[in-house]
Every structure is written in structure tokens, then in C-alpha cells.
Amino acid sequence: MANVAVGIYDVTKRFGRTVAVDGANLEIHQGEFFSLLGPSGSGKTTLLRIVAGLEEPDSGRVVIDGGEVTGLPPYVRKVGMVFQDFLLFPHMNVGENILFPLKMQGIAKAERDERLGWITRLLHIDGLEERYPHQLSGGQQQRVALARGLISRPALLLLDEPLANLDRELRKEMEVEVRRYQRELGIPFVYVTHNQEEALTMSDRIAVMRAGHFEQVAPKYDVYSAPATAFVASFVGHANRMRGRLKAANGARAEIDWSGLSLEVPAVAGTRVGDTVDYFVKCEHLSIGPAASPPRFGDNRLEGTLRDVIFKGQVADYIVVLANGTEIVVSEAVGLPRVKTHDAVAVTWAPEAGNSFRAEGA
């Protein structure tokens, strides 16, 4: 248990009639980069604020670094935090902002200055100490906020959508850097985001949240390739959803009828013939080719017409209208498939590339 940096046990928080966090259980390990990923309103920020002590849970316990902190005010928890919009103190210059946590802890001036030197060099913001927040660029503000969160070498750093307000270019750059600082310092990071790319780039493990509970808590690769629920399958990555009726089950595979088209899918435990099944397959797992290309045994093969190609740089999205009138999206390298708009095309993939679930609410 000494390995647990943060323990969240049966935590529930209600705001009026809405349940923001619903009986959450989670252990985050020392040295781990952990992301809470979910759409807005899923309770991820509330959970982070509960760990920080800014919200008090209605029930349940929070343990940081082996010590129970439930009910303790934020100012004795000694965690670091990086806020959305950075929340730098506008009346303090960069140096005063970064040193604020040490000043509150009553650390001697000599040590404060030494640590300021260390953190500003680490984050490449040395020389900015005299500037005020409104004189900084977005990226600099971001680094100052990170420095303020890290200077006291907290047991834990909480990050609340810190990159949400940066432009795309800068965000990509910061993703890599934030990950690097986490590695160098070995401090566990708990990172809240609604952006799956951020979570996938930076994290060791990801918890996918929806409506106050965890859909899946797993290493990032598993979240991506082996989603535990239909929600995770649709939320992480870009997937096509195919909802169909189970026609036959034979061992590891099953056959479904998707609006008149027959598909092979991985079998879903506990389903019977006639049940509704949701099958998700990521766009990049599909292949597209001319309709004349020969089928491969065991693959799903659907024929249709290429409606449009959406160029995205290295890859393009190919939008195919199928015989049953629905559209599916295929991501493939640009120029690789020899197809043109309005061509008759075939889309093929191995059934195991996708994941099937018993349909929710069907």
C-alpha cells in the first residue's frame, strides 16, 4: 500500500439533485501520470477538487501519501495544482507567484531563492521573474503555473485542463514537456481533461469517467484498444458504431444483421440470438479499396460508394455510403487506396479489430 499516492474510496458528491461523483473508488500510484478523461459534466473536475480539498465529499474517504485527508481544508494538504486559465495572481510578479506556496509554508528566504532558481531553469522561464502575468504569453503563463505547482515538491500535482486554453501548436509542445517534467521529478500527476489526445499522449493510466462513475480504469493502450464499455469505445478514438441484431453465435465470433448487412463480430458473453449488439470499429482499422479487389477469407467486407475524401494531412477520412444507406468513415494514408470520389469501393477489416457490446438502452 505504500505505493499508493492517492486513494479515493467510495467518494460521493451531490450538487442539489445531480450526482457529480457517484461512489468512486480509485488508487493512483507513486510516480504515475494518471488522467481523468471524460466529457464535460462527467464529474472529473469535481473529483479533482475533492482531492485538493476545495470540495468536501458527501461520503467516502480521501487518502494522500498514506495519510487520511478527508475533511481537511486545502491549505494543509500540501498538494500542488495547476488550474484551468492558470489563475496566476495578477498583483504579483512571476517570482512572487512561483514562491507563493513556499512563503505560505514559512520556508526560509535562502532556500526559497535557491528553489526558485532551480524551478525557473527547469521550466525555461528564468529571466521572467520580474514580469507580471499580463505581460506573459499563454505558454509562459502555463509554465509559471506549472512552476508554482511544482516548487514545493508536492506529494501530488493536480492539473485541471491546463492546456485547454492554448492554441493547438503550443498544446502539442506542452504535452510533451509536461510529460517530461513528470518523468524527471517522479511526482504523481493527476490530469483532468476532456481531450482524449492529451490523455493518450501523456498518461500512464487513464480513467474514463461518465456521469460520476468510472467506465474503465486501465493503462492507456488498453483503454484505446480494449475498451471495457461501449461508452469508452465510442469516446476514445474515432470509431464507427454498428448496431445490429444477433443472428448466430459460433464460438469466439458471432454474426449480426446491421440494417440488412451481415457482419462478423467478436462474440459478447451472455447474449442470445435476437439480442441487440453494438459493434465499434476504429476508423483507422478499416481498409478501403476498389470494389473489384478480391475478398479475404474471414474479413468483413462491405461495398458502397465513396462520397467524399476529407484531407487531414498524413491521413484522410474516406466517407463511404453503404448499400443500406448509412455512412462509415475510413482513415487511411493519403493516396494509398487507389479510389476516387463516386467510385464503387469495398471496405474490409478483421472482425477482431473492433469491439462488440450488448447494446445499452435497447
Residue ranges binding other proteins (CB under 8 A)? 52-54, 56, 65, 67-69, 71-81, 83, 85-91, 100-101, 104-105, 133-134, 141, 148, 152, 158
Nearest to 39 by CA among 219, 270, 223, 210: 210
Is residue 299 within 8 Å of 350, Cβ to Cβ?
Answer: yes
- Return phi, psi of residue 243, to 5°: -100, 125
Is residue 34 within 8 Å of 183, Cβ to Cβ?
Answer: no
Least distance (Å) between residue 341 CB and other proteins: 39
| Cross-strand bridge partners of residue 216 | 208
Nearer to other proteins, 46 or 331 (CB): 46
Q: CA 350, CA 362: separation in Å to the nearest integer?
A: 26
- Return phi, psi of residue 279, to 5°: -120, 125
Least distance (Å) between residue 88 CB and other proteins: 6
Least distance (Å) between residue 43 CB and other proteins: 18
Q: CA 205, CA 127: separation in Å to the nearest integer?
A: 36
Least distance (Å) between residue 132 CB and other proteins: 9
Least distance (Å) between residue 77 CB and other proteins: 8
Nearer to other proteins, 80 or 337 (CB): 80
Nearest to 153 by CA among 130, 184, 125, 197: 184
Nearer to other proteins, 99 or 206 (CB): 99
119: its cell numbers: 524551478
Nearer to other proteins, 15 or 221 (CB): 15
Least distance (Å) between residue 81 CB and other proteins: 5
Nearer to other proteins, 93 or 271 (CB): 93
Nearer to other proteins, 181 or 235 (CB): 181
Q: How far is CA 83 from CA 47, 86, 166, 237, 284, in A?
A: 14, 5, 13, 26, 34
